[in-house]
Structure 1
Amino acid sequence: MKQKNAVKLIEFRNVVKIYGQGQTAMTALDSIELTVQQGEFVAMMGPSGSGKSTCLNILGCIDTPTMGSYVFEDVAVEELSRDQRAMLRRSFIGFIFQGFNLLNRTSALENVELPLIYRRVPLKQRHAMAMEALAAVGLEKWSHHTPGELSGGQQQRVAIARAIVGHPRILLADEPTGNLDSQRSMEIMRMLQKFNREGITIVMVTHEPEMAAYADRQIHFQDGRIVADTVNEVIV
């Protein structure tokens, strides 16, 4: 079991997130306590507005808690400066989005290289790293194709290659199969499982129970609170 000899990677300690002020204030997260161990594959579920996407944004250092603490490998993220949070995000976190978020006029290779440009990786090295990441998702032969020349499933594979190219500690996936048919969705989920078994921690937001069944653990949100946190006894 992955919980054996578990090492804590991320932790929420009484995290609260409030948007707005006074009568217009809206509590998106209400006293969240959450721990994710290194190597886990966690699915976060719940209706729209339940808080799961806000939770993912805080995990990704895109947003910060109003109150409470977010700890990433013993570092209190809310105490970091904006630049330090950006550095953490670039160095340790990979993102996968429902809408792929690829640059339309650039090749698959150039899309995958983009995070490495922000990290100032030299051209020759980032080219090699991007080709390695494309090979890991089975698209090395499509490296010079633009997104418009690729299917939806292939575009999501490019997005996954971009997310893993910097060898992140954790992948954050926001509805990664939301724009795909069932066959392509299963292909993407098996790929995520493969990377998880190779050691990458994954936290995924999904509305689909069929996709959550690929994870080790399911966390259900409702009205800004965690209402259930269960281990999958049978994983797809």
Structure 2
Amino acid sequence: MMNQPLIEFRQIVKTYGTGLAQSTVLNGIDLKIQEGEFIAIMGHSGSGKSTALNILGCLDTPTSGHYLFDGMQVESMTTGQRALLRRYYLGFVFQGFNLLNRTSALENVELPLIYRGMSSKQRHELAMDALKTVGLEDYVDHTPGELSGGQQQRVAIARAIVTQPKVLLADEPTGNLDTARSLEIMEILSNLNQKGITIIMVTHEEDMAAYADRHILFKDGQIVSKEESGL
């Protein structure tokens, strides 16, 4: 279909707890994201943005409403089907890097490919290509403890893109970095977006959000703004 969004939320609701302890974190969210967009999700702590990202990444499911990914109804999938969606279509970058400490950069990047049953030779070639993309081809044998914070986040990005995902989900990817390293990471994300990867990034930082095409502002479990970047 022409102009069919890659991602769509239709009246997504997410609640936790029951009775008097019930809390509504997302309250009727509608959202469309086109393939190739760079989206910045913003809002104060507790606004619902991280919950929305978890649902987008198939790490959580909505209480009600519909989540469509490339026309597929995600909330109706089995746990195994959602796992396959994550494995083949989504990449993740986290604030805390989440690297294996005693494992080389190359081995960290190869990890998602092991779950695809690829040969050692295939894994090595793809991981090397991903590390070259983030400018770390000379650091393949370094462990995380031998790398700076910015370099660790580059390894994490390489690990996220080694599977050639359609969508890269980034949760505060510059939150643990200084300004110079943050800008380096944002340049990498911007270049990946220009190559066709859809990027959805949660951030508190307006100067980092300026790299995005569009800002989605959450407040009290609802979207209150969907503006094009004007920063």
Same fold (TM over 0.5): yes
- What is the count of residue pairs matched by the alignment? 230
Residue 194 of structure 1 pairs with residue 191 of structure 2: yes
Tell me if structure 1 keeps the 8 A contact 2:210–2:230: no
Residue 167 of structure 1 pairs with residue 164 of structure 2: yes
* 1:60-79 alignment, distance < 5 Å: 60-79=57-76
- Seen in structure 2, the aligned counterparts of structure 1 residues 126 and 38 have a Cα distance that, compared at 3 Å, is same
Q: Aligned residue for 2:45?
A: 48
Alpha-carbon separation, structure 2, partners of 1:115 and 1:233: 36
Unpaired stretches in structure 2, ≥5 consecutive residues: none
Tell me if structure 1 keeps the 8 A contact 2:12–2:27: yes
Q: Aligned residue for 2:121?
A: 124
C-alpha distance after superposition, 1:91-141 (max 9, x if no partner): 000000000000000000000011101111111101100000000000011
Q: Aligned residue for 1:112?
A: 109
Unpaired stretches in structure 1, ≥5 consecutive residues: none
Residue 218 of structure 1 pairs with residue 215 of structure 2: yes
Q: TM-score, normalised by structure 2?
A: 0.98
C-alpha distance after superposition, 1:200-222 (max 9, x if no partner): 00000000111101100000000
Alpha-carbon separation, structure 2, partners of 1:117 and 1:21: 40
Tell me if structure 2 keeps the 8 A contact 1:17–1:27: yes
Aligned AA for 1:226?
I
Task: Please state how far the C-alpha of 1:169 moved relative to its aligned partner.
Answer: 0.2
Tell me if structure 2 keeps the 8 A contact 1:16–1:66: yes
Q: Aligned residue for 1:179?
A: 176
Q: Aligned residue for 1:148?
A: 145
Tell me if structure 2 keeps the 8 A contact 1:7–1:38: no
Tell me if structure 1 keeps the 8 A contact 2:216–2:226: yes
Alpha-carbon separation, structure 1, partners of 2:182 and 2:222: 28
Task: Please state how far the C-alpha of 1:60 moved relative to its aligned partner.
Answer: 0.2
RMSD of the alignment, in Å? 0.9
Task: Please state how far the C-alpha of 1:233 moved relative to its aligned partner.
Answer: 3.7
Aligned AA for 1:143?
V
Aligned AA for 1:231?
E
Task: Please state how far the C-alpha of 1:67 moved relative to its aligned partner.
Answer: 0.1
C-alpha distance after superposition, 1:25-74 (max 9, x if no partner): 11110000000000000000000000000000000000000000100000
Alpha-carbon separation, structure 2, partners of 1:193 and 1:180: 17
Alpha-carbon separation, structure 1, partners of 2:143 and 2:199: 27
Q: Aligned residue for 2:79?
A: 82
Tell me if structure 2 keeps the 8 A contact 1:42–1:216: yes
% identical equivalent positions:
64
Alpha-carbon separation, structure 1, partners of 2:128 and 2:223: 40
Tell me if structure 2 keeps the 8 A contact 1:6–1:38: no
Residue 12 of structure 1 pairs with residue 9 of structure 2: yes
Alpha-carbon separation, structure 2, partners of 1:64 and 1:120: 27
